[in-house]
Amino acid sequence: MIVLKFLSAVFTLFFWVDLVFLQDALAQKDHTTDPNSHDHSKVVMAVEKDSSLLNQQVKVEEQLGKYAALDTYFKDDKGKQIKLETIFDKPVVLLPAYFMCNTVCTFLQANLASALNLVDQIPGKDFNVVTLSFSDDENPTHATTAKRNYTNLITRDFPLDKWFYLTGDNINIRKLTDSLGYYFIKKETHLYIHPNVLMVLAKDGKIIRYLYGPNFLPFDLGMALSEAKIGKPGISIKRGVLAFCFDYDPENKTYVFKIFRITGTAILILLLGFIIFLIYPSKRDKKQKTKLSHDT
């Protein structure tokens, strides 16, 4: 079963790499001119002009084990104001994005939807999803459009009232994103420069894992949700097996198969079995010889 999950993760990786190249080609072919969306050329020029400054301002400072600011207020896609902590009755997948962006934010939202189709956990029962607009230029109308577009990519049973599309004012947005260690800048109206990452949090708001985009592997997301379910030291049998075989690689920002640990363990088991095989017959032969000597 572990081998099958590993192979599935590998095949999924190649699939998403191919998909990104395809999406890039399509984006270049069919470039939208929506005035409320990112102008990609402006983003590139802004990055090139202020690259040294941007490296200091646009970043992720991981806050693992710390808590998100759940005392913040946002509006959902219906315009209802909600306190963020009311969403946290279970682990939460939280994606900061700009709803009307037609470049990388599009891929972030689409790839999250695709990954959610394939995780083992049940949405609405095992976890909720939050797509948070970090743009104070956006409102519930933008959230409604984005939610309709990306939830249409869901192919499994999914309670859409458990996937929250939120907008808010600058104070609440910054308070939450700062607590997450997520830093972005607004160059001008409808022009943002930002990291590409989602966070998985426990139901008490503890930050468990950062997964970096634009591609999100279902296996990585599922592992992070398993960690978020525990939320504190403690481990289940299934999680214990997975934790033994896989580990999070902070440098490459993904879960990796512990090939040396598995190989070493397999060799030790085989060696132990071989030693037992050699020792056990000799003991049995000694018992038989002792019995024969007594009989004679």
Domain residue ranges of the chain, discontinuous segments joined by +? 2-257, 259-296
Q: Would you say 207 and 184 are in contact if contact means Cβ atoms under 8 Å apart?
A: no
Alpha-carbon distance of 219 to 256, in angstroms, equals 10
Q: Is 169's pLDDT higher than 50?
A: yes
Alpha-carbon distance of 31 to 40, in angstroms, equals 10
Highest-scoring range by mean pLDDT, 181-185, 250-254, 284-288:
181-185
Alpha-carbon distance of 38 to 204, in angstroms, equals 34
Give the mean model confidence (pLDDT) for residues 233-248.
Answer: 40
Residue-wise pLDDT tens digits, 186-221: 888 778 888 899 999 999 999 999 998 888 889 889
| The pLDDT value given to residue 242 | 40
Tell me what percent of the residues of the chain surpass a pLDDT of 90: 46
- Taking residue 201's Cβ as centre, other Cβ atoms within 10 Å add up to 25
Q: For the domain 2-257, what is the CATH superfamily, name and number?
A: Glutaredoxin (3.40.30.10)
Q: Is 27's pLDDT higher than 70?
A: no
Between residues 122 and 20, which one has the greater pLDDT?
122
| The pLDDT value given to residue 250 | 59
Segment holding 54, helix H or strand E: helix 51-57
Alpha-carbon distance of 31 to 1, in angstroms, equals 43
Q: Is 153's pLDDT higher than 90?
A: yes
DSSP state of 84: G
Quote the strand ranges of 72-168, DSSP E.
Answer: 73-75, 81-83, 92-97, 128-133, 163-166
Q: Would you say 32 and 102 are in contact if contact means Cβ atoms under 8 Å apart?
A: yes
| The pLDDT value given to residue 225 | 93
Tell me what percent of the residues of the chain surpass a pLDDT of 70: 60
Give the mean model confidence (pLDDT) for residues 103-114.
Answer: 91
